[in-house]
Homo-oligomer: A and B are copies of this chain.
Amino acid sequence: MIAKWLNRIKWDEHGLVPVIAQEVGSKDVLMFAWMNREALARTAEIGQAVYWSRSRKKLWHKGEESGHFQKVYEIRLDCDEDVVLLKVEQAGGVACHTGRHTCFFNQLGSADGQPDWVEVDPVLKNPDDIYNK
């Protein structure tokens, strides 16, 4: 099948596109990851987020180990056609491998009078309970 919509995307030199996952409802930005052509095609096909793991160099069906699947409600593409935005429902309410709701839990604030990153969001689930089931 000719996937015209996949051809519209300007894949980078590694054949990847950056992907932002945003939660429907709360509109929280949950995480950021990458997809290759196969990952995006699969995401559209099954309606769940499938990323490309750059470290493991393989498709990563988010939730396959943790159960924290992302049901995809919308797939958007930006003006330059090189960034994807997913609107998802986050199973378990936990997107981050640290057990937090989102991956963006470090906020620039100050510590000891110097600017520094401060963890501002709570751990909702023990990571040991996420992965060692």
Contact = CB atoms under 8 A, between A and B. Distances in A.
Interface in A35-85: 44, 74-81, 83, 85
Interface in A95-132: 96-98, 100, 103-108, 114-117
B116 A104 contact: no
A103 B3 CA distance: 23
Number of this chain's copies in the complex: 2
Nearest to A34: B18
B79 A103 contact: yes
A39 to B, nearest CB: 14
Interface of A: 3-5, 8, 18, 20, 22, 26-29, 31-32, 44, 74-81, 83, 85, 96-98, 100, 103-108, 114-117
